[in-house]
């Protein structure tokens, strides 16, 4: 995740170091928007491919 945060325009996650309660990672709003964008692109790609295949079947 560190490399993702370094390569993104904004932090994708916020990491907290462990301790008594343990560490963890939280997804930022920017990270959530990237997931939403990926889901949309993925759905559009599959719809496009399905339509292309219908032409040949």
Give pLDDT, residue 22. Answer: 81
Give pLDDT, residue 43. Answer: 98
Per-residue pLDDT tens over the stretch 1-57: 889 899 999 999 998 888 777 888 999 999 999 999 999 999 999 999 999 999 988
Give pLDDT, residue 1. Answer: 82
9: helix, coil or strand? coil
Give pLDDT, residue 33. Answer: 97
First CA to last CA distance, the chain: 42
Give pLDDT, residue 2. Answer: 85
pTM confidence score: 0.75
């Amino acid at each position: 995740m560190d490399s993702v945060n370094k390569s993104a325009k904004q932090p994708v996650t916020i990491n907290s170091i462990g301790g008594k309660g343990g560490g963890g990672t939280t997804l930022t709003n920017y990270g959530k928007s990237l997931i939403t964008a990926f889901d949309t692109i993925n759905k559009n790609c599959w719809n496009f491919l399905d339509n292309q295949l219908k032409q040949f079947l």
